[in-house]
């Protein structure tokens, strides 16, 4: 069963989605600041996004709708290609480790 998120009718829909890549980083959280709350007074009555600028860092940042910038199609392709290459290198290392371990086991 797919998880379902229901947004109240009087709230606007968020401009960005969980897992979306942006110029600021990867969106890992979304929250809404309803009108007449302290957070809405401080940040505005809008969506706020929790963004991880770098997947290798524990740092997270928070941005409002107007502070997030979409990536171009070419930028997304470039990021994905770099990530694919990184994982392919990791697979090679793991395969070599596997061969070494199974070779030692068969010879021992």
On whether both 6 and 38 belong to a single domain, the answer is: yes
Q: Do residue 17 and residue 27 come from a single domain? A: yes
For position 107, what pLDDT does the model report? 63
Shared domain for 80 and 64, answered yes or no, is no
Task: Quote the number of domains for the chain.
Answer: 2
For the entire predicted model, the pTM comes to 0.78
pLDDT in tens, 24-48: 999 999 998 888 788 777 777 789 9
Phi, psi dihedrals of residue 56, rounded to the nearest 5°: -100, 15
Q: Which of 59, 60, 62, 77 is nearest to 21 (CA)?
A: 77
On whether both 36 and 80 belong to a single domain, the answer is: no
What integer pLDDT is reported at residue 106 of this predicted model? Answer: 64
Same domain, 93 and 106: yes
**40 shares its domain with 86:** no
Mean pLDDT of 57-81: 94
User: pLDDT per residue over 79-99, tens digit each?
Assistant: 999 999 999 999 999 999 999
| Same domain, residue pair 28 and 59 | yes
As given in the structure block, the two tokens for residue 96 are 């070599």
User: Which domain, by its residues, includes 2?
Assistant: 1-71
pLDDT tens per residue, range 95-106: 999 999 988 666
Predicted confidence at residue 11, as pLDDT, reads 84
Could you identify the residue written with the tokens 């069963």? 1
> Are residues 44 and 5 both part of a single domain?
yes
Instruction: Give yes or no: residues 65 and 54 share one domain.
Output: yes
User: Quick one: 18 and 39 in the same domain?
Assistant: yes
Q: Report the alpha-carbon distance of residue 44 to residue 39 in Å, rounded.
A: 7
Do 64 and 35 reside in the same domain of the chain? Answer: yes
In terms of phi and psi (left: phi > 0; alpha: psi -120 to 50; beta: otherwise), the region of 36 is: left
Residue range 21-30, pLDDT digits in tens: 999 999 999 9
SS3 102: helix
Query: Is 55 in the same domain as 18?
Result: yes
Residues 6+ apart with CB under 8 A from 18: 27, 28, 29, 30
Token pair, residue 1, equals: 């069963």
């Amino acid at each position: 069963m797919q998880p379902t998120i229901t947004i109240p009718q009087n709230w606007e829909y968020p401009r960005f989605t969980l897992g979306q890549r942006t110029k600021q980083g990867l969106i890992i959280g979304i929250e809404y600041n309803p009108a007449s709350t302290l957070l809405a007074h401080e940040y505005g009555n809008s969506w706020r996004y929790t963004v991880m600028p770098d997947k290798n860092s524990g740092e997270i940042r928070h941005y409002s709708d107007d502070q997030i910038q979409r990536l171009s199609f070419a930028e997304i392709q470039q990021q994905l290609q770099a990530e694919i290459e990184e994982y392919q290198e990791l697979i090679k290392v793991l395969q070599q480790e596997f061969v070494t371990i199974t070779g030692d086991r068969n010879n021992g």
